[in-house]
C-alpha cells in the first residue's frame, strides 16, 4: 500500500512537470529540453532556504518556484533567436549547465553528496509526514496546476501561443509581440517545474544532482509527446502511463537476473511502436513538425 501511494505521489509530481512542459512544447511548439533544470533550481532553492535559514517549506516552495521562473527568462532568451533542433540543443545545454553547477558548486550544494534531512511540510504543529497526507497535498497542487494551465490555454493568451506554434510570422503580422509571449510561456513553465521540484525535495527529504540530469528532461518530454502534445488530458495519461507501466512490468514474475534489462527493453519497444503507429501521442491532435 505504502508502495502504491509512493508511486502515486511521484506520478503527481510528474504530472505537474508534464503539464507545464506541455505548455511550452505542445501549445507553443518550442522544443525545450531543459525542464529538469527548472525543477532542480526549485528543489535546491527551497531545500537550501529550509536547511540554512530555517524557512518554512511553504515559503521555500514559493520562492523556489519564483527563482525557477527567473531562470526561465534566461533559458527562454535563446528561443527568441533559435528554432527547432537548435533550440532543443540550446535548452539541452542549459540543462547540462544547471546540472553541473549543482554538482560542482560544492560549498553551496554539497555537490554529489546531496542535501539530506530536508524538512517536510507542516501546517501549524501538524506535520505532513504520512504518505497519504502527502498524496493529498500533491493532488492539490496537481489540481491547481491543471486549473492554471487550463485557464492559460483556453484564453486569448493561449490562442496566441497556438498561433506561434502554427505560424509565427502570421502571428507577428497580427501585431502580437511574439518574443514577449515566448518568454512568458517559458516563465510559466519554469514556475510550475520549480513547484514540482520543491514538492519532490520535501517529499523525499533528500536531493542530489543525479535526480535532475538531462535524461530526466528527456523523460518529461517523452511524457508530453506520449500523452499528446497540446492536450491537457494527454499530460495526465502520458505521465501516469510512463511512471506506472514500468512498475507493472515488475510483477511479470520474471527471474530477477533478466527482469531489469527485459523491463527496459519492453519499455523501449513500446515507445518505438507508439511513435510509429501514433506519432501525435495517445490523445494529441498536434504532430511534431
Partner 1 sequence: MKEGHHFLGAVITDVQILILVVSGLLSIVLWLFIQRARLGKAMRAVSDDSIASSVVGIYPEKIIFISFAIGSALAGAAGILISLETNIEPTMGMNAILKGIIASIIGGIGSIPGAMFGGFFLGIAENLGIWKIQAGWKDCIAFVILIIFLLVRPGGILGIKTEKERL
Check residue 86 for interaction with partner 1 (CB under 8 A).
yes
Query: Contacting partner 1 (CB under 8 A), which of 51, 62, 63, 96?
Result: 96
* C-beta atoms surrounding 198 within 10 Å: 34
Check residue 83 for interaction with partner 1 (CB under 8 A).
yes
The residues, any chain, with a CB within 8 Å of residue 155's CB and separated by 6 or more, are: none
> With respect to partner 1, which residue has the nearer C-beta, 95 or 230?
95
Check residue 81 for interaction with partner 1 (CB under 8 A).
yes
Query: Contacting partner 1 (CB under 8 A), which of 62, 93, 133, 270?
Result: 93
> With respect to partner 1, which residue has the nearer C-beta, 103 or 278?
103
Query: Contacting partner 1 (CB under 8 A), which of 66, 78, 119, 133?
Result: 78
Candidates 80-88, 127-135, 143-151, 193-201: pick the segment binding partner 1 (CB under 8 A). Answer: 80-88
Query: Contacting partner 1 (CB under 8 A), which of 55, 58, 66, 103?
Result: 103
How much is the CA Rg of the chain, to the nearest whole Å?
19
Check residue 262 for interaction with partner 1 (CB under 8 A).
no
**Distance separating alpha carbons of residues 111 and 182, to the nearest angstrom:** 32
**Distance separating alpha carbons of residues 79 and 2, to the nearest angstrom:** 42
Say how far residue 106 (Cα) sits from the centre of its chain: 25
- Write the burial class of residue 153 (CB in 10 Å: 0-12 exposed, 13-18 middle, 19+ buried): buried
Check residue 180 for interaction with partner 1 (CB under 8 A).
no
> With respect to partner 1, which residue has the nearer C-beta, 219 or 240?
219
In angstroms, how far is the first alpha carbon of the chain from the final one?
43
Amino acid at each position: 500500500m505504502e508502495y502504491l501511494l509512493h508511486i502515486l505521489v511521484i506520478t503527481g509530481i510528474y504530472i505537474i512537470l508534464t503539464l507545464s512542459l506541455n505548455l511550452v512544447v505542445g501549445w507553443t511548439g518550442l522544443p525545450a529540453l531543459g525542464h529538469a533544470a527548472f525543477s532542480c533550481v526549485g528543489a535546491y532553492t527551497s531545500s537550501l532556504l529550509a536547511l540554512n535559514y530555517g524557512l518554512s517549506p511553504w515559503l521555500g516552495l514559493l520562492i523556489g518556484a519564483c527563482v525557477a521562473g527567473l531562470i526561465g527568462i534566461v533559458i527562454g532568451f535563446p528561443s527568441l533567436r533559435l528554432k527547432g533542433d537548435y533550440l532543443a540543443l540550446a535548452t539541452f545545454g542549459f540543462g547540462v549547465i544547471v546540472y553541473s553547477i549543482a554538482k560542482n558548486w560544492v560549498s553551496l550544494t554539497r555537490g554529489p553528496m546531496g542535501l539530506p534531512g530536508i524538512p517536510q511540510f507542516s501546517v501549524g504543529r501538524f506535520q505532513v509526514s504520512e504518505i497519504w497526507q502527502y498524496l493529498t497535498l500533491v493532488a492539490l497542487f496537481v489540481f491547481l496546476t491543471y486549473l492554471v494551465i487550463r485557464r492559460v490555454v483556453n484564453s486569448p493568451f493561449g490562442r496566441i501561443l497556438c498561433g506561434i506554434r502554427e505560424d509565427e510570422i502570421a502571428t507577428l503580422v497580427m501585431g502580437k509581440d511574439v518574443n514577449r509571449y515566448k518568454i512568458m510561456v517559458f516563465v510559466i513553465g519554469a514556475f510550475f517545474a520549480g513547484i514540482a521540484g520543491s514538492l519532490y525535495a520535501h517529499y523525499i527529504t533528500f536531493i542530489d544532482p543525479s535526480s535532475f540530469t538531462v535524461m530526466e528532461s528527456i523523460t518529461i518530454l517523452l511524457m508530453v509527446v506520449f500523452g499528446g502534445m497540446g492536450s491537457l488530458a494527454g499530460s495526465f495519461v502520458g505521465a501516469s502511463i510512463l511512471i506506472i507501466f514500468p512498475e507493472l512490468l515488475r510483477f511479470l514474475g520474471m527471474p530477477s537476473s533478466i527482469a531489469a534489462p527485459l523491463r527496459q527493453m519492453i519499455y523501449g519497444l513500446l515507445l518505438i511502436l507508439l511513435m510509429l503507429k501514433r506519432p501525435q501521442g495517445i490523445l494529441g491532435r498536434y504532430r511534431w513538425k
